[in-house]
């Protein structure tokens, strides 16, 4: 079994070589399964498949974090790096767009002050 925290410390080339080794091992185990190998080899197939998945996950996570770093200062983000949210939220007006006022509204606010009422007791 592979520990994921150990995988995170490895470089991309090391991860790819480990992935290659695991895939080769899985191929051997599948051959053993067909030829009627020992039961302990059959149970190992599941562990090797899990290890392959873990290595692939770590590789993709590293790629994504590297992309995030690369696009940190850019104006536009690729779609897969943007926050998911919901379709309706994504189409909503931005805060700036919602706060914009027409020329007429601005003039009205400027020339017609807010009325203050005094209450008679």
Residue 6 lies in a domain: yes
What CA–CA distance (Å, rounded) separates 65 from 72? 10
Q: Which of 19-28, 86-95, 111-120 has the least mean pLDDT?
A: 111-120
**Tens of pLDDT along 63-96?**
999 999 999 999 999 999 999 999 999 999 999 9
The domain spanning residue 14 has which CATH number?
1.10.287.310
Residue 120 lies in a domain: no
Question: Per the domain annotation, does 28 fall within a domain?
Answer: yes
Q: For residue 58, which of 84, 83, 22 has the smallest C-alpha distance?
A: 22
In this structure, is residue 38 part of a structural domain?
yes
pLDDT in tens, 28-71: 999 999 888 788 888 899 999 999 999 999 999 999 999 999 99
Residue 40 domain boundaries: 1-74
Q: Would you say residue 106 lies in a domain? A: no
Residue 55 lies in a domain: yes
């Amino acid at each position: 079994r592979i520990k994921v925290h150990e995988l995170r410390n490895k470089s991309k080339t090391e991860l790819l070589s480990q992935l290659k080794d695991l895939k080769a091992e899985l191929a051997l185990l599948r051959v053993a399964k067909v030829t009627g190998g020992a039961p302990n080899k059959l149970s190992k197939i599941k562990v090797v498949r899990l290890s392959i998945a873990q290595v692939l996950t770590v590789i993709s996570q590293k790629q994504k974090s590297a992309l995030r770093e690369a696009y940190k200062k850019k104006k536009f983000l690729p779609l897969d790096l943007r926050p998911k949210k919901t379709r309706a939220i994504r189409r909503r007006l931005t805060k700036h767009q919602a706060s914009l006022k027409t020329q007429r509204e601005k003039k009205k606010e400027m020339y017609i002050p807010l009325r203050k009422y005094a209450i008679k007791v």
